[in-house]
Structure formats: C-alpha cells, structure tokens
A and B are shown apart, each in its own frame.
Chain A
Amino acid sequence: MTRISDPRAITGRLFKWLFIGLVFVYLYLPMAVLVTNSFNKSKYGHNWAGFSLKWYQELFDNNAMMQAFGHSLLVAALAATAATLIGTLMALAIHRYRFPLKSATSSLLFVLMMSPDIVLAITFLIIFIALGIQLGFWSLLIAHITFCLPFVVITVYAQMKSLDPNILEAAQDLGASEARIFRVIILPLMAPAVLAGWLLSFTLSLDDVIISSFVTGPGFEILPIRVFSMVKVGVSPEVNALATLLLVLSLTLVAVTTWLIKRQKNQ
C-alpha cells in the first residue's frame, strides 16, 4: 500500500488544501474587491463599468484627504524614528546594564505590548490631559512612539543577545567609552534589527485607529480619522484608490523587512 494510492490519504490531502485555500480566500477576497474597484468606473462597484483612473484623480484632488495622508506619514516617520532610537537604547539598558527596577522595566514593556489598544488609548488621553499636553501633533507623536517601543525593544534585544562579548570587552580594555562602544560597535552590528524595528513601527503607526481616535485634536487630522468619517456615511471610491496605494506601500515595506531579517539571520 503506497501512500499516494491510498484513497484516505488522497481525501485527506484534498481536504487539507481545500481548507487552506478557503482561509486564503477569506483573507484576500475583501482586499481584491477593493483593488479591483479602485480601477472601476462604476461608483458603487456593483458591476464592472470599465477601467478608469478617475478615483485616483479624485483622491489626489481631495485636499483634506491628502493633508491627512501627509500628516499620517509625518507622524509615522517621526514616531518610528524616535521609537527606534529610544527602543534601541532601552534594549541596550536591558541587555548590558544592571540597574534597580530592571525586571519592573521589562514587565512594563510587556504590559505595554499586551494591553488592548482601547485601554492604552484612555491611559494616553488621561496622562496628556493631566500633564497639560494639548491634543494634536505632540500627543499623537508621544502616543505612537510609546506603543511602538516594545516591538523595537524585542527586535533589537533578540539581535543583541548574539553579540560577541569578547569584542565589547576588548574595546573596553582599549579605553573606549560606553557611548563610543555603543556608537561604533553595537549600533552597526544592530543595523538590520534597528531598521526592521523602524519599518515595523512605521507600519504599526500607520495602521493605528483606536489610539489615534482618542489622542488626536481638531487641529491635526490624520488618515484613519478622515477615512473613518468618509466610510461611515457611505461609499467613497477614493478610499479604494487610497487602499490600493497603502497596500502597495505596505507590501514594499514588508518585502524590505523580510529581506533585512533574512540577511540578519544569515550573518
């Protein structure tokens, strides 16, 4: 009895691939509909009325939307940069230094990672009001930096564990300062993980809806808030075009991240 001709094995394999196929249909169908409709002349997308780029034109002409998109990209880029910087230093502190409250620090990072967005959203809102930080650009930036931090720390810390302690000791013996060791030795060796952390933070920041809804102010509108108010009332085909552009952006970022992580593993 060979495995291939066994009817039970064949049925089993059929079911297996049918199941996996269905899961992927579920995951990709909604996005496929959006991308298709972004090129569809018909507004409601109930039928195919011919190829058109007019929704992209409308998207670029929609000033409020483009401004919100710009704001989102700005916050994402700044938050990712700051989170990467601070997160890398935190990883260094946890990896290299001994200090009181170290285990409490790790626990706080863990809480930060596990807390549902809605809880983080109100913790941020309350602290910003208490500290008198005006809701808007700065509150968004601080909140985004903070919720990206644990992901940077995890990525960079994992890489730091593979550092050769002999190199660091040699540098120390030769009189290099801590700051210099960090800048000249640790940071370059951490580069792939740091970049991966940046990309992850950038995507997390762009994706956020819940926390941003709470800490944004009237003077500084970002994309999810704008999109939310547009799709709440009805159909807006510009959102399809926007979704397609964001998808392309995300896929590019994913490809770069995956490549970097792969390269990091190979080293």
Chain B
Amino acid sequence: MKAFIANLNFRRLVITLTISWLSIFVLLPHLMVVGTSFLTADADNFAIWPITLDNYLKVLDDTYAGVFWDSLVLSGITTVIALGIGYPFAFLLSRMTPALRAILLFMMVIPFWTNSLIRIYAIKMLLGKKGLFNLVLVSTGIVDKPVQLLYTDFAVIFGLVYILLPFMVLPLMASFDKLDQSLLEAGKDLGANAFHRFRHIILPLTMPGVIAGCLIVFLPAMGMFYVADLLGGARSLLLGNVIKNQFLVARDWPFGSAFSVFLIVLMGLLLWLYYKANQYVQKQGGMDDQNL
C-alpha cells in the first residue's frame, strides 16, 4: 500500500510538473499576448481596460502597413532564395553515398551551432566598403570604386539567408530521405523523362519538406531585428524591429501584441498547410509512418 502511494506520488509529481510548467510559461503567456492586443496602452500599467480594436486598426494604418509589407516582402524573398539554394542542395546530397552525405550535412550544420549575432557581425565585416567583397569586386575590375552593400536590403537578405539556410535544408533532407526510390524507377520504366519524374513524383512527395522549410524560415525571418539593426538602413525593416520598439522603447504593449498576433495566426495557417501537404503525401505516396 505504501509503495502504491509512493508510485502515485512520483507519477503525480511528474505529470503535475509537465502540465503546470507548460501551462504557466507557454499556454498562459500566449493567451495573454492575444488578450493584451485588445487592451488600451497605458504608460504606468503597460495595458489597461477598456477592450478595443484600435491596435489592429493601427496595424493597418498607412505608416505601419508599409513596414508590414516590407517585412513580408523581405522575408518572402529570403524564403525563396533559401529554398532556391536549399532544394537543389538537399536533392544533390540525397543522391550521394551515406558517408559523404553525412559529412556534408555535418559541415552545413556547424555554422548553425555558432552564435548568430556574431555571424551577422561577420557579414557586416564582409560587406563593408573596405570589406572582402568590395576588395574582390574592385581588384577584379568589375566595379571602379567600392559599392554600397552594407545598410541595404541586399545586406539584410544576405544575412537572413545566411542564418536560416540550415533550417531550410534539414526538413528538405528529411523529405528526400523518405522518398521511395522504387517510385522513381517505376516512373522511368513507364517512360517518364527526368522532368516528368521531377514534376510528378519528386516535387509532390517532397512538398511537406518544402512547406516545413518555408515555415521555419519565413516566420523567424520576420522577427530577426538584430539582422536589420546591424545590416539594414535607418528605417525599421522587419516586424521584429517594430515589435521590439513597441515593447522596449515606445512601451505600447497592446500595439506590439497586435503585431505578434498576426505572426501567431500566420504560424497557424502555415502549420495547417503543412498538415494538409502531409496528408496528401500519405495518400499519394502510400507511406505509413508520417508522424511529425
């Protein structure tokens, strides 16, 4: 009987810890952000009654709609470039011998383990007027005098892709790994050429990887305020800069929260898309273990 109670206590302890930690530090704060976005800003108490929709109206206001749009475009371009590099990279890697693939994948991930702020600083060094890029451009005679690369949208995209590329490649690799080679052989035997095999077999079956990759590149890209701060120009380019500014400088928490709710909704939308793509692959590809 004593042992039974002791077991019950240990079990209860583990379960209570799990539920309470996640409720207090994940569920409750997320709900509070959504709640705060409907409140009114106040200098002393961060957020007060009454409930209002003003924050959302302000998000759609001309000044902020511009930032919003810029941020979406920059993150969008970043995602497309990361996919453009990451997809062929993952494809080529997936066709290599396991040993070689493991080495290349490992080399890909090493920068991902280093401090991202320091890596952005490295890019700042690289793109400066007297940095290595301009040195090469001038000495090879491509340009007459150093060009302005730093503090431009180009630099921000360069930095975002740099930080986020491994996040694109890893889910794509997982998708390519699951690709059933016999399907490709069947396609070949039935007379499909390389393009058709890609278009009708490889692309649809790696779609979950594409969506997962885009999801974990696109959303974080909008938040990386330090990339825009160090590499971008004077205006705040990314949603992250606006949110940081509203929370830490302007102290308009409800407004900052409204911006974040947009990100949360976008995340939900993309997750739903991912779920749908996975379902499609399960149906079409006949694979049975597609758990997240």
Chain A residues whose CB sits within 8 angstroms of the CB of B6 once the complex forms: 177-179
Determine if A171 is an interface residue (Cβ-Cβ < 8 Å).
no
Chain B residues whose CB sits within 8 angstroms of the CB of A24 once the complex forms: 107-108
Q: Is the CB of A146 within 8 A of B122?
A: no
Q: Is the CB of A258 within 8 A of B106?
A: yes
* Interface segment, one of A50-58, A60-68, A187-195, A224-232: A224-232
**Size bracket of the A interface:** 35 or more
Determine if A170 is an interface residue (Cβ-Cβ < 8 Å).
no
Determine if B30 is an interface residue (Cβ-Cβ < 8 Å).
yes
Chain B residues whose CB sits within 8 angstroms of the CB of A31 once the complex forms: 111, 114, 119, 122
Q: Which residue of A lies closest to B129 (CB)?
A: A46
Determine if B236 is an interface residue (Cβ-Cβ < 8 Å).
no
Which A169-210 residues have a C-beta within 8 angstroms of B? 175, 177-179, 182, 203, 206-207, 209-210
Q: Is the CB of A119 within 8 A of B19?
A: no
Determine if B195 is an interface residue (Cβ-Cβ < 8 Å).
no
Q: Is the CB of A231 within 8 A of B230?
A: yes
Q: Is the CB of B10 within 8 A of A119?
A: no
Taken together as a complex, chains A and B put the C-alpha atoms of A114 and B251 apart, in Å, by 26
Q: Is the interface of A mostly helix, strand, loop or mixed?
A: helix
Q: Which residue of A lies closest to B122 (CB)?
A: A30
Q: Is the interface of B mostly helix, strand, loop or mixed?
A: helix
Which A109-128 residues have a C-beta within 8 angstroms of B? 109-112, 114-119, 122-127
Chain A residues whose CB sits within 8 angstroms of the CB of B46 once the complex forms: 129
Determine if B197 is an interface residue (Cβ-Cβ < 8 Å).
no
Interface string of A209-220 (1 = CB under 8 A from B): 110011000000
Determine if B223 is an interface residue (Cβ-Cβ < 8 Å).
yes
Q: Is the CB of A207 within 8 A of B10?
A: no
Given contacts A30-B162, A118-B225, A126-B253, contact A108 B27 (CB under 8 A): yes
Determine if A4 is an interface residue (Cβ-Cβ < 8 Å).
no
Q: Is the CB of A209 within 8 A of B116?
A: yes
Partner of B3, one of A19, A46, A175, A247: A175
Q: Is the CB of B22 within 8 A of A30?
A: no
Q: How many residues on the B side are at the interface (Cβ–Cβ under 8 A)?
A: 79
Q: Which residue of A lies closest to B292 (CB)?
A: A110
Partner of A89, one of B18, B132, B162: B18
Q: Is the CB of A116 within 8 A of B17?
A: no
Which A1-58 residues have a C-beta within 8 angstroms of B? 16, 19-20, 23-24, 26-31, 33-34, 37, 44-46
Q: Which residue of B lies closest to A90 (CB)?
A: B18
Chain B residues whose CB sits within 8 angstroms of the CB of A114 once the complex forms: 215-216, 219, 267, 271
Determine if A163 is an interface residue (Cβ-Cβ < 8 Å).
no
Taken together as a complex, chains A and B put the C-alpha atoms of A142 and B15 apart, in Å, by 19
Given contacts A146-B21, A231-B230, contact A126 B119 (CB under 8 A): no
Interface of B with A (CB < 8 Å)?
3, 6-7, 10-11, 14-15, 17-19, 21-30, 32-33, 36, 46, 85, 88-89, 92, 104, 106-111, 113-119, 121-126, 130, 132, 135, 162, 165, 215-216, 219-220, 222-226, 229-230, 239-240, 243-244, 247-248, 253, 256-257, 260, 263-264, 267, 271, 292
- Counting from the closest, the 3 A-B pairs by CB-CB distance are A118-B223, A123-B29, A30-B122
